[in-house]
A and B are shown apart, each in its own frame.
Chain A
Amino acid sequence: MNTKNTPLVEVRNLKKYFPVTGGFLQSRIGDVKAVDDVSFEVFEGETLGLVGETGCGKTTVGRTMLRLYEPTAGEIIFSDTDLMSLNEGELRHIRRRMQMIFQDPYASLNPRMTVGSIVSAPLDVHTKMSSKEKYNRIQELLDIVGLNPDFVNRYPHEFSGGQRQRIGIARALALEPDLIVCDEPISSLDVSIQAQVVNLLEELQNELGLTYLFIAHDLSMVRHISDRMAVMYLGKIMELANRDEIYLNSLHPYTQALMSAVPIPDPDLAAKHHRVILDGDIPNPKNPPVGCNFNTRCPMAKERCFIEEPEYRQIEENHWVACHFAEETGA
C-alpha cells in the first residue's frame, strides 16, 4: 500500500434535504435532513468505508456525491473539478470517471435487457467503439469479473444474486473509472457469496488502482475492506478514522456501541464479550433531537449534549469526531 494522501474527492459541508410535502397543494412543510453538513475526503487508491444504520443517510451521501441527487448545499471536488459548477452535459461527461455499484442486484439490472447490452450501455454513451470492439470489450469485462463470456445474450433473471452483482461490477468497470461508489453491494447476498464479491472487489482494486467509497451496514465487512472508515448517524458523520484506530481506539460512544453490537462468530469470545446495548430506537429523521443527534440513546449524555450540537473536529491526526467529550473518552 502506497502513501494514500492525494485526495481524489473532497466533499465539504454537503447537505441534502428532502422536502416533506403536505396539504392540498403539496407544498413544502418541512425537510428530512438526510445528509446534514458532511465533510470528508477520499484519497486516491484507498477504500473509504461508510457505515451506519438504516436511515442514517449513507446511501444518500453516495448518490449526492455523484450528483445523482442534486445537493442542497456544499461542495464536491472531484480531481480538481468542482462538480457543482458543471451543467448536465459536462456532468454526463465526467460520469465516466466515477461509477456506482448498487445494493439490489435484482433491481439494478434492467430485466428486459441482455447482459451484453447492460454492460455495453456505458460504452455506447461515452465511446465511439465499433460494435466489434464493444463485443470484445464486453467479453473481456465478463471474464474479469468471473462470468462465462458465452452468456452475453442471457437475461438477468437467469442469474443468481451473486452473478448479477458481478454483471453490475462489469458495467461499472466498463469505462475504467477512477472512483467506484459501492452502495451496499453485498448486503443482499448470501454469506459465502459475499466473500466472493468482496475478494473480487479487492482484487480489482489492486489490479486497476481503483478508489472505492464502500457503503454498508455490516461493520465487520466494512472494516475488512476499508483503509479508513466513517461512521454515520442521522445524517451526520460521527467519527472518521483509520480502520484500526476506529476498532481499537474509537472515541465516539455511538461507534463503540455499534462495534460492540456486532455478533462474534466464536462462542468463547462472545461469552467474554461485554456488550453495550443501546436503549431505544433511531429517532425519526424528520424530527431529529436538539443538540447532539445521538443524545436520545447515548449512555454518556450530559446536559450539554441536549443543548449544543458537537463540532465535527480533528482530535488526533486523521481522526475526526463529533462528540463534546471525545477528548475525555480518548484519555
Chain B
Amino acid sequence: MAEIIPEEITITDFAVREHRSLWGDAWRRLISSNTARLGMFIVALFVLSATFAHYFWEYEPKKDLDYSLKLKPPTLVANEEVPSVHIFGTDKLGRDIFRRVVHGGWNSLRVGIVAVGISLFFGGLIGLFSGFYENINMTFMERLFLFGLTGLMMGVLAAWIAAQPFQTFLLAGLGVAAAYFDDFYKGKPLRMVIFAIAGAVIITIPALFVGSTVALICGGWGLITGALLSRPLEGRFFSNVMMRLMDIVLSFPGYLLAIAIVAFLGPGLEKGMIAIGIVGIPVYARLTRSAVLAVTQKEYILAAQSVGEAHGRIIFRHVTPNILSPVIVQTTMGLANAILSAAALGFLGLGAIPPEPEWGAMLGDSYRYLTSGAWWAVLFPGLAIMFSVLGFNLLGDGLRDALDPKLRT
C-alpha cells in the first residue's frame, strides 16, 4: 500500500460528546426523577422550617401552659372562645400543636444528624479499615494502630460491664504489645497462653473492686481477648474480629438494644441520640466494608501500589471516593430511620424529657385523648413523623438510582 501519508490523516482522537463529571451526571439524573424531586422538596421543607423555627421563632416549652385553651380543635380564625389562631389545634396543656410540631422538627433533625453521625463515623472507620486490610498487607505502624484499635474495641465491653473506663486502654495496650512483640514466640501456642493470661489479669484486677461475679465475667472476656490478639497478625484477622464484634451488636433487636443503652445512660434526648447511633454502627460497618472489598479488587488499587503510593494515600484518594455512593444512600435512609427510632424512644418516655417538644413524646402524651375525640393532638405529630421519614426515603431511593454505576455507560 503506497498511498499512506500520515500527515494527511487527522485523527479524531476524541469522541464528540461534551465533558461531564460523574457527580454532575448523578445530579442530572437525580433532578430528572419525580420521586427524588418530591423527596428533596419534603426534606428541604423539613430542614428549613426546623432551622428557621429554632433561630427566629422563640419558644420556651417550660413556660408554655394555658389550661383555658385545653384540647381545642384546629381553627383558622380567632373567635371568642379561642382568641388565638391554632391551625393544628391545642394539646392537653393548651399548647399550640403547630408550634410544637415545628419546633419538634429541630429536635428530630438533631437526633438524625447526631445519631447518623455517630454510626457513620465509627461504622465507616471500622468498615474502611477492616475491608481495606482484608487483602492488603499491613506495615508495622499500621499493625500497631489497628491492633491497638482492636484491643480498644474489645475493651469497651469489659469496661462497660465493670464500669471501669480505663480497662479499654489496658486492652488497647495489650493489642499494641501483641503487635509490637511480633517475634515473641512467633507462631507458638505459648504465645497465646501468655497473652491470654495477661489479658485476664489486667482486666480482672480492676473488676475485682466492683464485685467477684463481674471480675469472673471480665476475666473470661480478657482471656478470650488476649488469646485472640496473640493470633497471627494479618489484616484478615483484624477484619474478622471487628466483624464478629459487629455481629454481636447486630444480634440484639435494634430497639431493645437502644432501650437498654438509654436505660443504662439515663433518659434524655442526647442519650437517645447516642443509643440510636451505637445501634446503627454495625449497619454502616458492614456496608462500608463490602463496598471497600469491592473497590480493593479493582486494578487501580494495584496500580496505585505499583507506583509506590502509601496505604493512607490509597485509602483516602482511591478507596474513599469510590465507596461514597452506597454510603450516601445509606446515610439518607439512615436519617429517616433515626428519626423514627427517636420518636419510638420518645413515645416510650425514654427520649426527650417533657415538656421538650418531640414528635414521639407528643404522641405518647396525647394518644389517650383520642377516645375523647381529640384526633388533632395525635394526627399532626404523626403526620410530621410520616412525612419526614417518607421524604428521606424518597430522596434515598432517588439517590440510589442516580448514583448506581450500573446505569452508567
Contact = CB atoms under 8 A, between A and B. Distances in A.
B19 interface: yes
12 contacts: A95-B306, A102-B303, A108-B300, A109-B300, A110-B304, A110-B318, A151-B14, A153-B19, A159-B14, A163-B14, A171-B307, A174-B307
Contacts of A192: none
B13 interface: yes
Interface in A156-191: 157-160, 163, 168, 171, 174-175
Nearest to B307: A122
B307 A121 contact: yes
A70 interface: yes
A96 interface: yes
A100 B303 CA distance: 7
B15 A160 contact: yes
Contacts, number: 89
Interface string B293-327: 00000111011111111100100011001100000
Nearest to B20: A158
Interface in B127-171: 137, 139-140
A313 to B, nearest CB: 33
A111 B21 CA distance: 10
Given A68-B302, A112-B22, 12 more contacts: A63-B302, A100-B302, A104-B299, A108-B298, A108-B303, A109-B300, A110-B317, A155-B22, A158-B17, A163-B13, A168-B303, A175-B307
Interface in A87-110: 88, 91-93, 95-96, 99-100, 102-104, 107-110
B408 interface: yes
A153 to B, nearest CB: 8
Contacts of B20: 158
A137 to B, nearest CB: 14
Contacts of B306: 66, 68, 95, 99-100
Q: Which residue among B236, B298, B303 has the maximum number of chain A CB atoms within 10 Å of its CB?
A: B303
A125 B308 contact: yes
Q: Which residue among A102, A104, A121 has the maximum number of chain B CB atoms within 10 Å of its CB?
A: A121
Contact of A112 (B17, B299, B303, B322): B322
A66 B307 CA distance: 10
Contact of A157 (B13, B22, B304): B22
Contacts of A66: 306
A91 B20 CA distance: 38
A160 B15 CA distance: 8
A322 to B, nearest CB: 29
B302 A95 contact: no
B240 interface: yes
A111 to B, nearest CB: 7
Given A63-B302, A102-B299, A158 B308 contact: no
A130 interface: no
B293 to A, nearest CB: 15
Contacts of B236: 26
A8 B309 CA distance: 24
A103 B302 contact: no
Interface in B11-51: 13-15, 17, 19-22
Contacts of B137: 70
Contacts of B139: 88
A146 B307 contact: no
B22 A68 contact: no
A104 B298 CA distance: 9
A110 B302 contact: no
A112 B321 contact: yes
Closest 10 pairs (CB-CB, A-B): A108-B299, A95-B308, A112-B321, A122-B307, A92-B308, A107-B299, A100-B306, A102-B299, A110-B300, A107-B298
B308 A126 contact: yes
A107 B308 contact: no
Nearest to A121: B307
A148 interface: yes
A157 B318 CA distance: 16
A123 B236 CA distance: 31
Interface in B44-100: none
A68 to B, nearest CB: 6
Contacts of B305: 68
Contacts of B303: 100, 102, 108-109, 168, 171
A257 interface: no
B240 A26 contact: yes
Contact of A121 (B13, B309, B408): B309
Contacts of A109: 300, 303
A111 B309 contact: no
B309 A125 contact: yes
A146 B299 contact: no
Contacts of A153: 19
B285 to A, nearest CB: 19
B231 to A, nearest CB: 10
B21 A155 contact: yes
Interface in B210-245: 236, 240
B235 to A, nearest CB: 12
A92 B308 CA distance: 5
A315 interface: no
Nearest to B142: A88
B149 to A, nearest CB: 20
Contacts of B240: 26
Nearest to A181: B306
A168 B139 CA distance: 27
Contacts of B304: 110, 121
Nearest to B305: A68
Contacts of A262: none
Contacts of B13: 146-148, 163
Interface string B2-16: 000000000001110
Nearest to B236: A26
A113 B13 CA distance: 21
